[in-house]
């Protein structure tokens, strides 16, 4: 019987267990990265739908119903933030929107728990667009009876739920006036 082979067997087993541990750790790391990307792609898709709805409403004087519901694993209202910001730096506008402008609207998503989660989309809106927040300014149609309330998309975070966006500008009005109603769920 060869005693050297028996003495080396525990060491070989130990090395095999260490290598298997590294493979498992790397596998979990890759899966976590893939799950994060799937989650952020869900948010990006929902941001695109919201962006197109807002742009369509403002530019065509129409109305849009938008159901904003990204993957809740990365859009927790406690950790995540989706805001529309009126940016006044022309260099930032040129970098984000691809054209020089003194002011532009930028939709920004971030999640403090997810590294590199910052996502930004330029809204192709006139810089003088006015988002109305008082229900009385939004015309004769009141959606509060249906569980909606007016929200200011510029000064508050957008949440998961249903949005009704309407351009309430009178015919011939130069500056777009937009009302945004929100209902949770």
pLDDT (tens digit, 9 = 90+) per residue, 89-99? Answer: 889 889 988 88
Would 102 be classed as within a structural domain? no
Q: Is residue 123 part of a domain?
A: no
Average pLDDT, the chain: 81
- Residue with the bigger pLDDT between 54 and 157: it is 54
Mean pLDDT, range 66-93, rounded to an integer: 78
Residue 2 has pLDDT above 60, yes or no: no
User: Residues of the chain with pLDDT > 90: what percent?
Assistant: 6
The Cα 74–Cα 94 span in angstroms is 29
**Residue 93 within a domain:** no
Residue, of 116 and 158, whose pLDDT is higher: 158
How much is the pLDDT for 66? Answer: 85
Residue 113 contacts by C-beta under 8 Å, 6 or more apart in sequence? 76, 79
Say what the pLDDT of residue 4 is. 62
pLDDT digits (tens, 9 = 90+) for 93-127: 899 888 888 889 999 888 777 777 788 899 988 87
In a domain, residue 107? The reply is no
d(CA 65, CA 94): 30
What is the span of the domain harbouring residue 134? 3-76+128-184
- List Cβ<8 Å contacts ≥24 apart for 83-90: 83/107, 83/108, 83/153, 83/154, 83/156, 83/157, 83/158, 84/108, 84/123, 84/153, 84/154, 84/158, 85/154, 86/127, 86/154
Query: Is 86 within a domain?
Result: no
**How far apart are the C-alpha atoms of 107 and 85, rounded to whole Å?**
6
Please give the pLDDT value at position 168. 86
In a domain, 145, yes or no: yes
Domain annotation covers residue 119 = no
Q: Is residue 97 part of a domain?
A: no
**Could you give the number of structural domains in the chain?**
1
Model confidence at 41: pLDDT above 60: yes
């Amino acid at each position: 019987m060869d005693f050297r082979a028996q003495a080396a067997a525990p060491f070989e087993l130990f090395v095999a267990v260490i290598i298997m541990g590294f493979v498992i750790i790397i596998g979990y790391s890759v899966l976590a990265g893939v799950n994060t990307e799937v989650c952020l792609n869900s948010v990006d898709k929902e941001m695109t739908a919201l962006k197109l709805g807002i742009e369509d409403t403002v530019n065509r004087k129409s109305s849009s119903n938008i159901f904003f519901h990204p993957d809740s694993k990365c859009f927790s209202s406690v950790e995540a933030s989706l805001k529309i910001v009126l940016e006044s730096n022309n260099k930032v506008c040129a970098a984000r929107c691809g054209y020089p402008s003194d002011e532009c609207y930028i939709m920004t998503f971030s999640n403090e728990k997810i590294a590199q989660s910052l996502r930004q989309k330029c809204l192709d809106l006139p810089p003088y667009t006015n988002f109305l927040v008082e229900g009385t300014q939004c015309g004769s149609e009141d959606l509060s009876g249906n569980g909606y309330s007016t929200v200011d998309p510029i000064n508050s975070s957008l949440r998961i739920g249903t949005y009704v966006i309407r351009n309430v500008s009178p015919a011939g009005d130069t500056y777009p006036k937009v009302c945004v109603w929100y209902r949770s769920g």
